[in-house]
Every structure is written in C-alpha cells, then in structure tokens.
Copies of this chain bind each other. A is one copy, B any other.
Amino acid sequence: MASLELISSAKSFGGHQQRYRHASDVLNCSMNVSVFVPPQAEQDTPLPVVYWLSGLTCTDENFVTKAGAARVAAELGLIVVAPDTSPRGDDVADDESYDLGQGAGFYLNATQAPWHSHYRMYDYIVDELPGLINQTFNCLPKAGLAGHSMGGHGALTLGLSNLQKYTSISAFSPIVNPIDCPWGQKAFNAYLGENEAEWELYDACCLLQQQGQFMQLPILIDQGLDDDFYQSQKLTRPFEHVAKQMNYPAIVNYHPGYDHSYFFIASFIESHLRFHHKYLLEQR
C-alpha cells in the first residue's frame, strides 16, 4: 500500500501543520493532503479526526491558510485533514471553467469519458484517504465530516451514504440539491452523463429523503445571507425543507451580512469543530 510522504511541517499552536504527498491508486495520480496534527498526538491515545472538504477552485491549502482552525483543533486535540478537491496533473482531464475538472471534483465517482479514469473523489475521500491517515496517525475509528460549498455537498452526501463511518456532518453554505442548480447540473452532466437515477445518489436532498428515517447522524449547517450563491445555486434551504418534512433534527443557522468567503468560515469554524468533537468523543 502507498504511504504518506511528509513534504512540509510548521509548528502551529503547539501542534504541527503538515503537508503530505502520496500516490493515489483510486485517482490514478499523485495527491497532496494537508493535516493539522494537534499537540495531543504525542500522547498514546487515539485522536478524533475531522475531514474538511473544500469548495470549487480550492486545493488542500485554502482551508489551512484562511480558516483559522488550528487554535481550536489544538485545544480539542483534533486531527484535521484537508484533502485536495480533485485529481491533479498534466495527464488528468481538465476544463477551462472553474466549476468543472481540476479543482471541481464534486466528491463523486465519474462514469463518463474523459473523466472516469481519474475523477473518483467519492472513493478517495471515503476509503483510500482514511486508510492512509489511519495507518499514519493514531485515530478513533469514526470521523467527523465537514465542508464548504461544493465541499458541503461532499460532506452531506458522503456522510449520508456512509453512516457507519462518520459520527457527525457539518457544512458551510453547502450545495444541497445539485440535480437542481447550475453548478450541480453542469458537473453531473459531464461526470455522470444523462442517467438521472445516478445523479440522485449524489444529491443531499434525495439522500436525506431516502435515508433520513434510518439514521440519526447529527448535522449542522451555517449559511450566510449575503452569500451571492445562496439564491442562484439554491444553497442550504432545500435541505432544511426536506429535513423539516422528514422531521429530521438538522441544525441550520442563517447569518445576516455574511458572504460565501473564508471570512464567514473563519467566523464560525470554532462551533463546527466543537460540534464534531462532542460526537467524536462518544467513541472513547
């Protein structure tokens, strides 16, 4: 099996902000992943892990640089894993637009050419990457899953489809109904083709409708009301609507004045990390 190769490490809040490179069999390319390792890693106790899934155009570095998560992660003893948002490389299919191809993997397994030979972010995030993380660090078995925008879509859909692997899901400004918004329709058409039954496997609203009655995975969503994409990409609200229909206890908070940027994420990341930490520790 491949392993993580450390390419940089900087001390941060008593822990270490690290960056790793590794060969990915699933994505058929080389990948970078950023990991915050808290000071508690020096002890012998398995640590809770949160995976952060970033949005369109991001790499593994945006969250690390901009979200200010290390302070609270260090306090709580959380490992925070920030993967890239797509396969990468010169021989990986791409598109000129920012919302398709590299930087826009949409956390799904593509079935269509030219995408299907690399774009398998679903399998990468759910299986391959946790395998590498768990062989490198001493981790509690289930993880928390968080993300922003396209990454909020990833957190909701991967979490709702893998209830046994995660303790909790949280999202900022998530795409929740990709089968019915411009970003989602463009990406799903390209990656999945015209089979709409398959589209629903990657739609948080559809998944909650189908599976909500069988599970009680805690869900937290924060949404800025001055977010330029809130209306145009139908963020958050359709999911809240389905949750209410299903009588599902998702926590959804709306914040006047906040936009779609990392300034919004930084303002509320502490509450997300504390949310996950609470459920992650129930494994101990």
Report A41-68 CB contacts with B as 1/0, cut-off 8 Å: 0000000000000000000000001101
Report A122-139 CB contacts with B as 1/0, cut-off 8 Å: 000000000000000000
A262 to B11, CA, bound (A): 10
Q: Counting CB contacts under 8 A, is A258 at the interface?
A: yes
Q: How many copies of this chain sit in the oligomeric assembly?
A: 2
Residues of B within 8 A of A68 (CB): 68, 71, 266
Q: Counting CB contacts under 8 A, is A85 at the interface?
A: no
Given A65-B66, A66-B66; A263-B12 close (CB under 8 Å): yes
Report A224-259 CB contacts with B as 1/0, cut-off 8 Å: 101000000000000000000000000000010111
Q: Counting CB contacts under 8 A, is A3 at the interface?
A: no
State which of B11, B262, B267 has its C-beta within 8 Å of the C-beta of A259: B11
A259 to B263, CA, bound (A): 25
Residues of B within 8 A of A65 (CB): 65-66, 262
Contact call B66/A11, Cβ cutoff below 8 A: no
Residues of B within 8 A of A117 (CB): none
Q: Counting CB contacts under 8 A, is A191 at the interface?
A: no
Residues of B within 8 A of A71 (CB): 68, 266-267
Closest to A71 in B: B68
Contact call B70/A261, Cβ cutoff below 8 A: no
Q: Counting CB contacts under 8 A, is A10 at the interface?
A: yes
A257 to B10, CA, bound (A): 8
State which of B11, B224, B261 has its C-beta within 8 Å of the C-beta of A264: B11
State which of B11, B258, B264, B266 has its C-beta within 8 Å of the C-beta of A267: B11
Report the minimal beta-carbon distance from A248 to chain B, rounded to whole angstroms.
29
Contact call B11/A257, Cβ cutoff below 8 A: yes
Per CB-CB distance, the 8 closest pairs between chain A and chain B, nearest first, are A68-B68, A11-B257, A12-B263, A10-B263, A11-B258, A13-B267, A10-B261, A10-B259
